Structure 1
Amino acid sequence: MKSNKRHSSEVWFTKLLVPVLAAGSLSMPASVLAADDGTINIGFISPRTGPLASFGKTDGFILEQARIALADGMTIQGKHYKVNILDRDSQSDPARAGQLAKELINQGVDLMLAVSTPEVINPVADASEAAEVPMLSTVMPWEAWYYGRGAKPGEPSPFKWTYHFGFGAGEFYKTYMSQWDLLETNKRVGVMYPNDADGNAIRGALVPRFKEAGYTVIDPGAYETGTTDFSSQIATFKAEKVEIINTFPIPPDFAAFWRQSAQQGLHRQVKIIQVAKTGLFPADIEVLGSLGPKIASAAYWHKSFPYSSSLTGQNGTQLADLWEKESGEQWTQQLGATLSLLDAGTEALKRATDPNSREAVRDAIATLNTTTIGGKVDFTSGPVPNVSPGPIIGAQWVKGTGKHQLDYVITENVTDPNVPVTHPLLQYNR
């Protein structure tokens, strides 16, 4: 268990008071009276480099926004705290993510945050759980987080310290059914899921429901991440006359698959190419050139979401516009997703009876019910303990009509009707 910290203000006060007394003055600077009662350390781990770097590309910018908002610290239960965010790059390596989490734990973080994909989140969550450190995460299917870490359906949660919010297979299913119904197809869907936490969780959760909804599912089997030749999958999809493809690859794998699909003629029979985990960011699609427009996606955040950040006060448009102004690059959905994690994390700290008590922070997360820039986070009524579900909104990449090569448009909103639909779904092979 974590021992109580000595307040940093004690040392600071002593260092300041000695020279004041030595100068023969009994007057005390006003700043002494405003000394911090303590320090809150927040650990933050994300993939800033490596094959998952597109997820972490905007994190430095978001952390800057958070640090600006926290520059004056936080007042909690009548006490004032300085706030440090200790951010680390997992380099898209699960082993490194786990090691970084242990290092931050040894440095005494009060709250651990991790964002984007099982390769980052799950090892950080496991390290935090083992060390009894409160942890919060987002941006991966919650089933891959919950069951992928050893929880069993129908059994009590094995997790006491780690919590996750965001979309799950149920949201994907609702969104895909809503999106695919926008076009007439033969309802033959080819699924291409990798042999990883995301792929295995999605295969188990989605494929049976696709079949129940009247779709014929063609599954050539799990492939290994890093595969460079998808000829066998492409041949199977062509022979089976699939008109919908659903896949959850990392960006380099999808680029290889879809280029080979074009070379071998599969793209000419596909009406909907529905991607997740990749296709989330402009660079993922731009790299495909003429093959990119009309790829369907799903947004866990969009700048048109009608919510504001509880930490910075920014709405989606303000956040996206500031990013584009400062970076010169197109906004991405990770902006709001990462900020929503910081929104939820800082809100939990505010509600804790003692932000330096791991038990108090954990209990505040467990009862958290708040609204972030990404929408509602509610751990009091999740589908399973330790989980708060979130929306995933049907979207599509289309040729840009303004300053960007591509526009990211909303085509359906079944999982959050507050999000406005802005564009009809376009058929890929037309």
Structure 2
Amino acid sequence: MSDRDLPNRQMSDCNTSDKALKQSPLSRRKFLGGMGVALGSSVLPAGFTVFSSAARASSDPVIKIGFISPRSGPLSVFGEGDEFLVEQVMRQFSQGLTIDGVKYALDIIIGDTRSDSIGASLKAKELIDGDHIDFMLTSSTPETVNPVADACEAAGVPCLSTTAPWESFYFGRGGIPGQASPFKWTYHFCFGVMDFAQLYIDQWQKVDTNKRVGALLPNDADGNAIRGLLLPALEKEGFTVVDAGLYENGTSDFTQQINLFKKEKCEIFNTFPFPPDFPVFWRQAAQKGLAKKVKVAQLAKAGLFPAEIESMGKLGYGLHSGAYWHKDFPFTSLSTGLSCAEIADGFEKTMDKQWNQQVGANAALFDAAISALVQSNDPKNKVALATALSQLQADTAVGRVDFKNGPAPNCARAGLVGVQWMKSKQGPWPLELPIVSNANLPSVPLTGTMTRYKLGG
């Protein structure tokens, strides 16, 4: 791809050589992300990356879309595909997006939360107040989604989000069961806690265990939602849950929890930690003998990305997880024009990394966003766009997103499949990820058979 094909805003006073820009298809965007970029009479704050329709007439109205995610810090793995994905969206709409007979150019501005909820809130306010965006998109854990949504709700800016349990988004921000929604501008689609329950009940029955579950849940929005909803659902289905209690993200010594799980003879282990915390726990679990006794090691939030598992060596082979997107999903992405397999293949070729779940989930976010813009008939009208979100039914890279029949106001559901990290038998990557359970998303075919965890593979 040549430098002139990159969909960026024109830069002024950029003292960067053409040779440097041509070394990598991402180099110009990295340069833009590290400085303030002149935008007419305003200046975008540092830490943003900007994409614009390549073929824009000066008279075309512009839809400004903010996209906030963690691209540095402990959650940065969630954002590593952002620029690749947005480039695919901009290629798909390089000639603009026509809505109700009017052609609009697209500006997509990416902001980094630095894996911090305060950073997420500040980035949202900068885009809202400084760049006057029309539409906000955000994804990847409640620590990102909730503060960005709160900022948009306060400012009256339509916001669409994904990749955080919908209960964390709705109840975690003040929604109350049985009462009218307190939210007018913010909408979210994702799996929920009961989707995990359905998935785990099916997945764990594929291995013979004593049905004793050791639960390691942090003191955060995810951990609290899981503790209040998932654990009782598992117990109702005949599992004995041993809850190790609250722990703080970043904990370095899990001796107390490991000893408890060993004492209680837990053969199933389930956790929802910050990604950097799980390898710390699992290495200690191996050293202290717990990992030898566990037959199902089920991860969520951590264990979603190949790099995490690869970093653990043989300890990572056989770990179980859920997938909210997979390259073998039988869906197509409206915003990129690609199948799920093509998204994964394109990511691998562009980034020289194995595909990950978040690139497809974020494709679904843009799929739903484009559908909402079109269905609003007036995308610069914030009330019209929010109304379109409230009634949105759209096909995406994760399947059907339906806000008319969601589990709660302002929410739509997306499903999960069960997967298992296995040592690759062939192919360019060390790991493969067969789909071993589809009870929660039966439209997705199985591609493998679940086996028990065995320490060292």
Instruction: Work out whether the TM-score is over 0.5.
Output: yes
The alpha-carbon deviation at position 353 of structure 1 amounts to 2.5
User: What is the distance in 2 between the residues matched to 1:182 and 1:36?
Assistant: 60
User: What is the distance in 2 between the residues matched to 1:172 and 1:195?
Assistant: 19
Match 2:332 to one of 305, 308, 312 = 308
Within 5 Å, which residues of 2 pair with 1:51-70?
51-70=74-93
User: Residue 147 of structure 1 corresponds to which residue in structure 2?
Assistant: 171
Query: In 1, are the aligned partners of 2:421 and 2:434 still within 8 Å (CA)?
Result: yes
Query: In 1, are the aligned partners of 2:324 and 2:417 still within 8 Å (CA)?
Result: yes
- 1:92 maps to amino acid: S
- 1:69 maps to amino acid: Q
User: What is the distance in 2 between the residues matched to 1:348 and 1:395?
Assistant: 31
SS in 2 for 1:241: coil
User: What is the distance in 1 between the residues matched to 2:431 and 2:451?
Assistant: 14
SS in 1 for 2:329: coil
User: What is the distance in 1 between the residues matched to 2:314 and 2:114?
Assistant: 30
1:42 equivalent in alignment to 2:62 = no
User: Residue 81 of structure 1 corresponds to which residue in structure 2?
Assistant: 104
User: What is the distance in 1 between the residues matched to 2:270 and 2:262?
Assistant: 14
User: Residue 8 of structure 1 corresponds to which residue in structure 2?
Assistant: none
User: Residue 435 of structure 2 corresponds to which residue in structure 1?
Assistant: 410
User: Residue 429 of structure 1 corresponds to which residue in structure 2?
Assistant: 454
The alpha-carbon deviation at position 259 of structure 1 amounts to 0.4
The alpha-carbon deviation at position 77 of structure 1 amounts to 1.1
Q: Deviations over 1:275-312 (max 9, x none)?
A: 00010000111111110010000000000000001112
SS in 1 for 2:418: strand
User: Residue 217 of structure 1 corresponds to which residue in structure 2?
Assistant: 241
SS in 2 for 1:144: helix
The alpha-carbon deviation at position 251 of structure 1 amounts to 1.4
User: What is the distance in 2 between the residues matched to 1:142 and 1:323?
Assistant: 27
1:383 equivalent in alignment to 2:380 = no
State which drifts further: 112-121 or 64-73. Answer: 64-73
Q: Deviations over 1:171-193 (max 9, x none)?
A: 11100001001011101001010
User: What is the distance in 1 between the residues matched to 2:218 and 2:96?
Assistant: 43
Within 5 Å, which residues of 2 pair with 1:73-112?
73-106=96-129, 107-112=131-136
Query: In 2, are the aligned partners of 1:272 and 1:428 still within 8 Å (CA)?
Result: yes
User: Residue 171 of structure 1 corresponds to which residue in structure 2?
Assistant: 195
User: What is the distance in 2 between the residues matched to 1:270 and 1:101?
Assistant: 42
Query: In 1, are the aligned partners of 2:217 and 2:244 still within 8 Å (CA)?
Result: no
Query: In 2, are the aligned partners of 1:36 and 1:81 still within 8 Å (CA)?
Result: no
User: What is the distance in 1 between the residues matched to 2:273 and 2:439?
Assistant: 24
The alpha-carbon deviation at position 151 of structure 1 amounts to 1.0
User: Residue 279 of structure 2 corresponds to which residue in structure 1?
Assistant: 255
User: Residue 393 of structure 1 corresponds to which residue in structure 2?
Assistant: 417
The alpha-carbon deviation at position 313 of structure 1 amounts to 1.2
User: What is the distance in 2 between the residues matched to 1:130 and 1:201?
Assistant: 24
Query: In 2, are the aligned partners of 1:272 and 1:427 still within 8 Å (CA)?
Result: yes
- 1:82 maps to amino acid: A
User: What is the distance in 1 between the residues matched to 2:122 and 2:226?
Assistant: 27
User: What is the distance in 2 between the residues matched to 1:74 and 1:142?
Assistant: 30
The alpha-carbon deviation at position 383 of structure 1 amounts to 1.1
User: What is the distance in 1 between the residues matched to 2:431 and 2:134?
Assistant: 41
User: What is the distance in 2 between the residues matched to 1:335 and 1:175?
Assistant: 22
The alpha-carbon deviation at position 35 of structure 1 amounts to 5.8
- 2:330 maps to amino acid: P
Within 5 Å, which residues of 2 pair with 1:224-239?
224-239=248-263
Within 5 Å, which residues of 2 pair with 1:198-217?
198-217=222-241
- 1:44 maps to amino acid: F
User: Residue 20 of structure 1 corresponds to which residue in structure 2?
Assistant: none
The alpha-carbon deviation at position 429 of structure 1 amounts to 2.9
- Higher relative contact order, structure no. (Cα contacts within 8 Å, ≥ 6 residues apart): 1
- 1:102 maps to amino acid: K
Match 1:295 to one of 298, 301, 319 = 319
User: Residue 321 of structure 1 corresponds to which residue in structure 2?
Assistant: 345
Q: Deviations over 1:299-339 (max 9, x none)?
A: 00000000001112100111111111122211111111011
User: What is the distance in 2 between the residues matched to 1:195 and 1:375?
Assistant: 31
| Unmatched segments (≥5 aa) in structure 1 | 1-30
List 4+ stretches of structure 1 deviating above 3 A: 34-37
User: Residue 241 of structure 1 corresponds to which residue in structure 2?
Assistant: 265
Query: In 1, are the aligned partners of 2:117 and 2:144 still within 8 Å (CA)?
Result: yes
The alpha-carbon deviation at position 420 of structure 1 amounts to 1.1
Q: Percent identity of the aligned residues?
A: 50
The alpha-carbon deviation at position 140 of structure 1 amounts to 0.8
Query: In 2, are the aligned partners of 1:36 and 1:80 still within 8 Å (CA)?
Result: no
SS in 1 for 2:446: coil
User: Residue 72 of structure 1 corresponds to which residue in structure 2?
Assistant: 95
TM-score if structure 2 supplies the norm length?
A: 0.86
- 2:160 maps to amino acid: L
The alpha-carbon deviation at position 155 of structure 1 amounts to 1.5
Match 2:367 to one of 343, 367, 372 = 343
User: What is the distance in 1 between the residues matched to 2:391 and 2:176?
Assistant: 22
Q: Deviations over 1:105-131 (max 9, x none)?
A: 112111100010111110000000011
User: What is the distance in 2 between the residues matched to 1:383 and 1:331?
Assistant: 30
User: What is the distance in 1 between the residues matched to 2:432 and 2:75?
Assistant: 22
User: Residue 18 of structure 1 corresponds to which residue in structure 2?
Assistant: none
SS in 2 for 1:320: helix
User: What is the distance in 2 between the residues matched to 1:36 and 1:159?
Assistant: 35
SS in 2 for 1:225: coil
